Amino acid sequence: MKKKSLFFVTVILLVSMLVLAACGSSSDDNAAENFPDKPVTLIVPWSAGGGTDTGARLLQPYLEDELGVSVTVVNKTGAGGWIGWNDLANADPDGYTIGLANSPHIITGYINPTLNRDKDLDDFIGLGMHVVDPDTVSIRPDEDRFTNLDELIEYAQNNEVTVTSTGEGTDEHLVILNLNKEMGTNFVPVHFDGAAESRSSVLGGHVDVLVANLGEILSLYHDGDIEVLGVAAQERSSFMEDVPTLAEQGVEVYQESSRGFLAPAGTDPEVVQILEEALEKAINNEEHIEKMTELGFGVRYETGEDYMSILKDDEQVVIDLKELLGWE
Amino acid sequence: MDSSMISMVIEQLLSFQTIIALVIGVVGGIAIGALPGLSTTMAIALLVPITFSMEPVAGLVMLTAIYTSATYGGSIASILLHTPGTPAAAATALDGYQLTLKGKASTAIGVATFSSMVGGFISGIALLFLAPPLAQLSLMFSAPEYLLLAIFGLTIIGSLSSGSMLKGLASGAIGLLIGTIGIDIITGFPRFTFGSMSLESGIALIPALIGLFSLSQVFILIENQVKSGKKVNAKQASGKFFPSKSIIKRITPTVLRSSGLGVIVGIMPGAGGDVGSWVGYNEAKRFSKRKEEFGKGSVEGVAGSESANNAVTGGAIIPMMTLGIPGSSATAVLLGGLMIQGLVPGSELFTTNGHLSYAIIIGFIIANILMGIVGFIGAKYFIKVLDVPQNLIIAIIITICMVGSYAINNSIFDIWVMVFFGIFGYFLRKAGFSTAPIILGMILGPIAERSLGQALVMSQDNFFVYLLSRPISVIFIVLILLTILTPLIMKLIRNRKKEAVS
């Protein structure tokens, strides 16, 4: 009896392992002229339901229409997105595996020396940019120590001021470091687990300043629950026309988080071109833009090449902040 | 809400699409919840795109129905198979499975169904009538309160270790240590990852939970079978599913208390159903007249965790709808479902779009009642699981463990985590250690550590003065001191009395 059930369990374990192993390996060579003739896998390095995932799933049907094959969204989460990006870099460069990247996360992930990543931007090819979400600086409407950006900066030059962030090397953290570097302020980051906790901490008066992506504060802005002092972008956002950029107010800090599509390095240029064209049409589809806008996602298409150079610029920003991040 | 709005709300709710969505949400939610690894959050995330093309009310009623029903569904496998379908149902396994072993599975399922239904219903009522003040209350919680909540939660370990206190604390410490694995959010430094990228985000809770509770259970089933051929069957587990009057009378105070606690935990953005169920369980034990039954098959224990975790659902929706701040990971996804319909959280949601919002809230309340009805009708089928030959059950549980661990992050690594924790959990249980404190440590340790780091920055050097200047923190400190000191003082008094007598 004992032997029998042990044998049974072992068999079940083995069979399950084999099935799973089989799921992991499926690849065959396809010529570029037939591309694509089987489903394309889109790696999303964050869990289902997050901003990146929602954007991917919104685009999915339009991309399927353009490519003529189905697109499967696979969530590969962990290590601040790098589980997914590592898998993407190691995938067969046949065009059937593409992925979504977030900047600056993908960059800070390999520049942080404690993480010992063996991959960087050179392991990927840009396919096109999808979304740009600039960072914003906001305070509570009832805040009496400072009411505008000038007063905030002046106050922070003489006092420690707490600011929300979502972890070391995130876009929020880079905004804070850049402000301290450019303006000589004493902003102290408080790292929260996500924008939800950041927002409630500022609304409840526990943290002084809210730094968050524009899309994350839209409803608070509409309800007047917060006062947005500035947007860290080159131009004003169409989501909040009345809010000036930081640069307009003499604070030269630019920071946005962007999302775009990558393929592993070594992908056939003809295949890359097919993917690029399909993405361009799908991203610029008006219905898609409309749905994204409703969610507060600012769609901005850029070609694969331009997207890559935007990422290179982002890389430079992080490199310039290495000292302040303690990453040297 | 004026009369014209009431008629619009009723019209929205009585549409064919809404009713179908409600039924699909409830039945589908229970099934998803019962299967370990298929999480509530994942189910909602995958369905949000489908709701784009639905009517706003129908779509959102379906999503909220899934949310509450999956939370309830998690208890079914927890009670019958010691395999929690969701982390929020782990606390239910403690007493629920003991009841099953005693042949009282039908009572356990009945109590869980009743408690979940009432908990969810109460949270829905809170959402309907108390949303604005509760949303303001949620803003009073920040890092210092989360730190103290986590410490308060850790005192639960004392009540979980029915045998040896030392073993309970040791299990808790193991859980806390496991919780330190991964990148520290404050410094960005990887700890105990040994260069493995898979460990950077820490040991995932669900695979560990599945291993510790379910796979270790499989090993114990096999062992028992080999030793004595002992097994549980449904013939012993007969009886009515709807709780008897005496049981309802006994669990009512617990259900009401846990529902209130669940709503409060729900409105906090930093804590969800997994924390809520433990708090509900612990307070059920603290106030119980039959403390000795806990851990051995107490209906109050089942009621305590099950009403709390369902009450978390409505509570978590409150800050999401009023402030756009989700109270749990599942509501973060629900928020996307709301916004894609053009419904922006905030005051507008209750004025301009009031007819839709109130329809969604009332739909959620109806979903909870329907969930209870489906639960009571379905109970006699759920319990058939116990009729399945044990060899087959073992095979099914192992398969579900594997698939569930993989599905949560699409990661083979997580299967190994599950297998490791299964073997680890088996030996711990054989040695008389309880596995529940490990899970509690893994849930609360990271919350405590992160909040401590945040609170230290926020307090700007005067940490203790800062804590004492915050009303909710002071309440927590008093609760923690009471919890730790009361047993000691009681013991002292008892010893004095003994001395006086002799």
C-alpha–C-alpha distance, residues B94 and B112, integer Å: 13
Question: Is the C-alpha dihedral spanning B444, B286, B211, A194 positive or negative?
Answer: negative
Tokens of A96: 């059937």
Other CB atoms within 10 A of residue A244 CB: 15
The reply to whether residue B454 touches residue A191, judged by beta carbons under 8 angstroms, is yes
In order, the DSSP letters of A144-184 are: -S-SSHHHHHHHHHHSEEEEEESSTTSHHHHHHHHHHHHH-
What average pLDDT does the segment B446-457 reach?
92
Question: Is the C-alpha dihedral spanning A271, A276, A281, A285 positive or negative?
Answer: positive
In order of A53, A74, A77, B45, the CA distances from B407 in angstroms are 16, 10, 11, 14
Single out the residue of A263, A217, A210, A258 nearest to residue A240, CA to CA: A217
Q: What is the pLDDT of residue A15?
A: 65
Q: Which residues contact B406 (CB under 8 A, 6 or more apart)?
A: A20, B37, B412, B414, B415
Whether A292 and A121 have beta carbons less than 8 Å apart is answered as no
C-alpha–C-alpha distance, residues B289 and A261, integer Å: 60
- B175: amino acid identity, one letter: G
Q: What is the pLDDT of residue B130?
A: 92
Single out the residue of B8, B21, B16 nearest to residue B370, CA to CA: B21
Helices (H), B198-298: 205-209, 216-228, 245-267, 273-287
Residue B425 has pLDDT above 90, yes or no: yes
Residues of chain B neighbouring A79 (CB-CB closer than 8 A): 183, 197-198, 200-201
Q: What is the pLDDT of residue B42?
A: 81
Geometric angle at alpha carbon B292, from B289 and B293, rounded to 5° = 90
Tokens of A21: 């192993």
Residues listed for chain B:
502
What average pLDDT does the segment B427-435 reach?
90
What average pLDDT does the segment A306-323 reach?
93
Helices (H), B14-89: 16-34, 40-51, 56-81
Q: What is the pLDDT of residue B229?
A: 59
Q: What is the pLDDT of residue B231?
A: 56
Q: What is the pLDDT of residue A21?
A: 54
Residue A74 has pLDDT above 70, yes or no: yes
pTM to 2 decimals?
0.84
Better pLDDT: B258 or A196: B258
Residues of chain B neighbouring A220 (CB-CB closer than 8 A): 323-324, 346
- Residues within 8 A of A (CB atoms), B 451-470 only: 453-454, 457-458, 460
Whether A114 and A82 have beta carbons less than 8 Å apart is answered as no
The string of pLDDT tens digits covering residues A97-140 is: 999 999 999 999 899 888 888 899 999 999 999 999 999 999 99
- Residues within 8 A of A (CB atoms), B 122-161 only: 138-143
Residues of chain A neighbouring B333 (CB-CB closer than 8 A): 48-49
Question: Is the C-alpha dihedral spanning B382, B386, B392, B398 positive or negative?
Answer: positive
Q: Determine the residue among B183, B331, B449, B473 to mutate to test chain A binding: the one whose Cβ has the most chain A Cβ atoms within 10 Å.
A: B183
Of A59-68, A178-187, B252-261, B268-277, where does mean pLDDT reach its minimum?
A: B268-277
Whole-number average pLDDT of chain B: 88
What average pLDDT does the segment A65-70 reach?
93
Question: How does residue B161 score in pLDDT terms, banded at 50, 70 and 90?
Answer: low
The string of pLDDT tens digits covering residues B270-323 is: 788 889 999 999 999 988 998 888 888 999 999 999 999 999 999 999 999 988
- Residues within 8 A of A (CB atoms), B 39-98 only: 41-42, 44-46, 48-49, 52
Q: What is the pLDDT of residue A28?
A: 47
C-alpha–C-alpha distance, residues B411 and A76, integer Å: 7
Single out the residue of B442, B444, B394, B451 nearest to residue B417, CA to CA: B442
Residues of chain A neighbouring B201 (CB-CB closer than 8 A): 77-80, 83
Burial class (CB in 10 A: 0-12, 13-18, 19+), A120: middle
The reply to whether residue A222 touches residue B333, judged by beta carbons under 8 angstroms, is no
- A272: amino acid identity, one letter: V
Whether A303 and A277 have beta carbons less than 8 Å apart is answered as no
Q: Determine the residue among A1, A4, A5, A174 to mutate to test chain B binding: the one whose Cβ has the most chain B Cβ atoms within 10 Å.
A: A5
Better pLDDT: A168 or A305: A305
Whole-number average pLDDT of chain A: 89
Question: How does residue A243 score in pLDDT terms, banded at 50, 70 and 90?
Answer: very high
Residue ranges of domains in chain B: 3-224+234-501
The string of pLDDT tens digits covering residues B486-497 is: 878 888 888 888
Residue A207 has pLDDT above 60, yes or no: yes
State the DSSP code for A116.
Answer: -
Residue A212: φ, ψ to 5° = -155, 165
Better pLDDT: A258 or B351: A258
Identity of the residue in A12, A115, A218 whose CB atom sits nearest the CB atom of B395: A12
Looking at chain B, which residue has its C-alpha nearest residue A56? B49
- List the beta strands (DSSP E) in B364-491: none
The reply to whether residue B394 touches residue A83, judged by beta carbons under 8 angstroms, is no
Q: What is the pLDDT of residue A26?
A: 44
Q: Is the peptide bond before A104 cis (omega within 30 degrees of 0)?
A: yes
A9-23, A306-320, B375-389, B482-496, range with greatest mean pLDDT? A306-320
The reply to whether residue A200 touches residue B138, judged by beta carbons under 8 angstroms, is yes
Residue A2 has pLDDT above 80, yes or no: no
C-alpha–C-alpha distance, residues B486 and B238, integer Å: 41
In order, the DSSP letters of B283-306 are: HHHHH-S-GGGTTS--HHHHHHHH
Q: Determine the residue among A42, A62, A197 to mutate to test chain B binding: the one whose Cβ has the most chain B Cβ atoms within 10 Å.
A: A197
